[in-house]
Structure 1
């Protein structure tokens, strides 16, 4: 029987899983559940949530990043209420991660420039929209100039989307880990701020 991992080993594995998910996405090999995340934000009416794509991981510094349209409602919410949670679920392993984060917006700086340069034209296409995300339209709108259709913009054409592009840098303050199993659930919490504390929790 394989011995249960220690808290330190389990915490390290969480970050390894995030790094693996990102690597598989970038190489377009396997599909890992952690490639997408639900970001939950606070609003004046309560809470809001939507799915975003994991774009970068720094396991040593405890940071993750995702992209968004700078005009999106989530940006306004994150600026008004600078705290949020990222929810990740991997159905293959039956593992849930909840990341408590402190977000930081990047639009006109080297961080946003670096992410933009690494983004292929297919990813840039969605930032070519002339309309603010969530704005009312008279008919279905694809989220980019309709004349593009299924075609990709040229690298030069895609640069028009740069002013609408934003990077959300997420400083991870804590990770709540939960694994479901018929043999018994496993739950733990890894806190990094203000002091590092790792604890087992009742599921």
Structure 2
């Protein structure tokens, strides 16, 4: 329904306004963590900066909130990206949905949760398989004399017990990302669609862009 006769674009056979695109995109982000492995938006590239320059790596989307425009992912508190985000809290998140051919670039302001209720709550929701790497005795990125699996080698392919997994809590951190803006790009033979959404508190500025 388009009561104000706003410009629309057809995505997946459905005419959509800017507001429709923004709403649908956040719903996709919210549902991504529960979809099957390999689904669009389930992982993302986190781009940070440091005194040495730019840096990037893939992380797993753990939660999204379409009302607050927030995204969360987990990391080891000893990781270099934590140091980078503490020094430079603004970052870029890059998402790709191969099935729908949609790219998202979110500029975000980050907050790192380590010893607070947010980290405690998400740790309790994390199953033992997800906790396994937080049992690592070694700092991520540290030099080793040989290959290191990222968890105690004695575990091998086994999972830690629930009680044993609790020892990883000290290394666990949650990164909360408050979206400042989102650049949306949909690729199609019929034509590309690009738009920008900028967030100012409870208000959202929407604008079509040339691809």
Shorter-chain TM-score category?
over 0.9
Q: Which residue of 1 aligns with 2:209?
A: 201
List structure 1 runs of 4+ shifted beyond 6 angstroms. none
> Contact conserved, 1:21 with 1:31, CA < 8 A, in 2?
no
CA distance in 2, matches of 1:190, 1:106: 27
Please say if 1:185 is aligned against 2:196: no
Paired residues for 1:50-199 under 5 Å = 50-193=57-200, 196-199=204-207
| Secondary structure at 2:200 match in 1 | coil
CA deviation after TM superposition for structure 1 residue 110, in Å: 0.5
Task: Report the TM-score when normalising by structure 2.
Answer: 0.91
Q: Which residue of 2 aligns with 1:34?
A: 41
What's the CA shift string for 1:111-168, capped at 9, x where partnerless? 0000000000000000000010000000100000000000000001001100000000
Q: Which residue of 1 aligns with 2:31?
A: 20
| Secondary structure at 1:65 match in 2 | strand
* Cα root mean square deviation, aligned: 1.3
CA distance in 1, matches of 2:14, 2:177: 33
Q: Comparing both structures, which one devotes a greater share of its residues to helix?
A: 1
CA distance in 1, matches of 2:146, 2:100: 41
Aligned residues: 199
CA distance in 1, matches of 2:188, 2:30: 23
CA deviation after TM superposition for structure 1 residue 21, in Å: 1.2
CA distance in 1, matches of 2:134, 2:26: 30
For structure 1, the 5+ residue unaligned runs are none
CA deviation after TM superposition for structure 1 residue 85, in Å: 0.4
Change (3 A) 1:30 1:152: closer
For structure 2, the 5+ residue unaligned runs are 1-9
CA deviation after TM superposition for structure 1 residue 30, in Å: 6.1
